[in-house]
Amino acid sequence: MSKSTLGPSSSGPRHVAIIMDGNNRWAKKRFLPGVAGHKAGVDAVRAVVEVCAQQHVEVLTLFAFSSENWQRPLDEVGALMDLFLWALRNEVKKLNKNNIRLRIIGERSRFHCDLQNAIAEAEKLTANNTGLMLQIAANYGGQWDIVQAAQRLAKEVQAGHLQAEDISCQLLQRCLTTNEQPLPDLCIRTGGERRISNFMLWQFAYAELYFSDLLWPDFKHQAMQEALADFATRQRRFGKTSEQIEAGE
């Protein structure tokens, strides 16, 4: 992974979010256990990180484990946690070497203490890096994110620090786990499904959606470049008309 000296493209997204779907189906097609698909998916993560870093994307958020995924078979959940811990311990040095900052969003308290410690150590090691921010959503749900933001505001009201009528979209947005990052410009989902599955519900209000039929382990450099190229053809209006956008209003 090399650092480019080129400036960011005006048509490129600042923040890309990806729903990495299809690991189990990829493994099933090869008569392999589901965890084999998740392991193969690590190569796809490396590929999209490389492309995003080269294209000067500021933030890449990957939906690794949803708050609903705990309902999966125990052996699969255990294997996913082991893989997460392995990736944190083995990949973080490469991220740090390439000036990539790692951040984990989601409810961490349910994770084993070893995993919580590994998350904290990985974030600390890369905290001062200034390149791409790689944000991993783990034990994350869009509804949970909105609820925890609402709870924070409710406590402020209860304590007398805030009036209920002063709560605004901007204020609630600042209480989300992604408050320090630009809102996602592009949401990619692999695996052929056409839904966002409780991922960043508030943040996707005006995100462009891109769906790929490729299973996640097969979504590599070219596929990511094609997604970014498709984004560059979109006209983002944010409620305005095409004429207003073209006139620079």
Question: Which residues are catalytically annotated?
Answer: 21, 69
On whether residue 172 sits in a domain, the answer given is no
224: tokens are: 């990511």
112: tokens are: 């084993």
Q: How many angstroms separate the Cα of 114 from the Cα of each of 42, 82, 186, 189?
A: 21, 10, 33, 30
On whether residue 91 sits in a domain, the answer given is yes
Structural domain total, the chain: 1
Which domain CATH number covers 216?
A: 3.40.1180.10
On whether residue 114 sits in a domain, the answer given is yes
119: tokens are: 């998350």
Three-class DSSP category at 63: strand
- pLDDT by 10s per residue, the chain, length 249: 433 333 333 579 999 999 999 999 999 999 999 889 999 999 999 999 999 999 999 999 999 999 999 999 898 899 999 999 999 999 999 999 999 999 999 999 999 999 999 999 999 999 999 999 999 999 999 999 999 999 999 999 999 999 999 999 999 999 999 998 999 999 999 999 999 999 999 999 999 999 999 999 999 999 999 999 999 999 887 776 777 777 776
Q: How many angstroms separate the Cα of 53 from the Cα of each of 21, 85, 128?
A: 22, 23, 16
Model pLDDT, residue 249: 66
Residues forming a β-bridge with 62: 18, 136
On whether residue 10 sits in a domain, the answer given is no
Domain that holds residue 195: 15-141+185-232
On whether residue 165 sits in a domain, the answer given is no
Measured in degrees and rounded to the nearest 5, phi and psi for residue 239 equal 90, -10
Kindly report the pTM of this predicted structure.
0.91
Model pLDDT, residue 22: 96
On whether residue 35 sits in a domain, the answer given is yes
Residues forming a β-bridge with 169: none
Q: Report how far residue 183's alpha carbon sits from residue 197's, in angstroms, rounded to the nearest whole number.
A: 18
Question: Distance of alpha carbon 156 from its chain centroid, rounded?
Answer: 28
Residues forming a β-bridge with 135: 61, 103
On whether residue 76 sits in a domain, the answer given is yes
On whether residue 5 sits in a domain, the answer given is no
